[in-house]
Amino acid sequence: MDSLRQKVEALSLQINDFAITDAASLEQYRIQFLGSKGTVKDIFAEMKNVPNEQKKEAGQLLNSVKILAEEKLQHYSNLKEAASLKIDSDIDWSAPTNGRIASRHPLQIVGQEINNIFGRIGFSVAEAREIEDDWHNFSALNLPEDHPARDMQDTFFVNKNPDMVLRTHTSSVQVRLMEAQKPPIRSIMPGRVYRNETISARAHCFFHQVEGLYIDKKVSFADLKQTLYYFVTQFFGEGVQVRFRPSYFPFTEPSAEMDISCQLCKGKGCSVCKQSGWVEILGCGMVHPQVLRNCNIDPEEYSGFAFGMGIERLTMLKFQINDLRLFSENDQRFVSQFAGAR
């Protein structure tokens, strides 16, 4: 752990000392520290050498240096469009402005908050391709060829190729992660997914998910529940009520759906919660032994849990938004309402 801490401190110094003076140096900074082969990604590989009892502390340490690198990149990206960036000009880009305050998209605000919450308990962030093959999107997850999710009404196939699809969930990232990395694995997988659905106030043909995966020795359903309890209390506040209901997913066994007390009516009953006082926010369960075998992980030695939630649904609850289509219409009147939101 001391060795990892020294590496993080050394990398933090490199990030702080890197001079960004123009568009070229900004891009060099991004590639060196945050690129697919950058030093920040490399240092996360050290997690596999950390003892299990220290993984939470190590995860917080690694996420701190990642956030440092991302914040510096965002800061200089916001100074001016990269194509014309020139820090040493006569213009003071840090001076106050009388113009309109910029605002982030609400999905970005909520997505970053989710990343931060799970980062505090040792979850790293994993991403992968949006165009997937049949194995990673379906077969490895116990979705047989006759499963309804494979129906053309639900899935977008690429160039009518039955083996290539726009991913229908970020579970495909879980499969790739389990194939590429030996346990312990503790990661979340945010990203955009696609389903062939009719667009309405409650549904869209693309939306955003974040899924989570924890694989290690002696992982139990109690670990899953405590992780999700922590998340909802951090995201919604201590007063939120939670319940689990038995459910079915091909890739987990046992499976459950998790409800929270409706944040719009405070559990009293409204149109959003269908007068029940409860809103379902995610599905979860213990990773099916066959899924572990499909990814060359021995289910006799390892167990794990997985969960998945829609970022749009959480955003609608957090900001009391009642129409899903608003997120993708690029209406500045809508986005400007979130200036200063965190």
- Determine how many CB atoms are found less than 10 A away from the CB of residue 167: 24
- Predicted structure pTM score: 0.69
90 in any annotated domain: no
Residue 191 sits in the same domain as residue 281: yes
95 in any annotated domain: no
User: Which run of H or E residues covers position 113?
Assistant: helix 106-119
Q: Residue range 110-138: average pLDDT? A: 94
- Which residues span the domain enclosing 274? 106-338
Residue 111 sits in the same domain as residue 36: no
139 in any annotated domain: yes
Q: 208's torsion region: left (phi>0), alpha (psi -120 to 50) or beta?
A: beta
For β-strands 185-194 and 124-125, DSSP reports them as: parallel
Q: Which residue spans within the chain are E strands per DSSP? A: 124-125, 131-133, 157-158, 161-166, 185-194, 206-216, 242-249, 252-261, 278-287, 303-310
Residue 113 sits in the same domain as residue 31: no
65 in any annotated domain: yes
How many domains is the chain built from?
A: 2
CA 100 to the chain's CA centroid: 30
Residue 225 sits in the same domain as residue 122: yes
Q: Two tokens at 10?
A: 């050394």
89 in any annotated domain: no
Classify residue 218 by burial, with Cβ atoms within 10 Å: 0-12, 13-18, 19+: exposed
Residue 297 sits in the same domain as residue 178: yes
Residue 164 sits in the same domain as residue 262: yes
97 in any annotated domain: no
- Per-residue pLDDT of 281-297, as tens digits, reads 999 999 999 999 999 99
Q: Residue range 75-94: average pLDDT? A: 60
End-to-end CA gap in the chain: 32
- Per-residue pLDDT of 205-214, as tens digits, reads 999 999 999 9
> CATH number of the domain that 314 lies in?
3.30.930.10
Specify the residue for token string 């060099």. 28
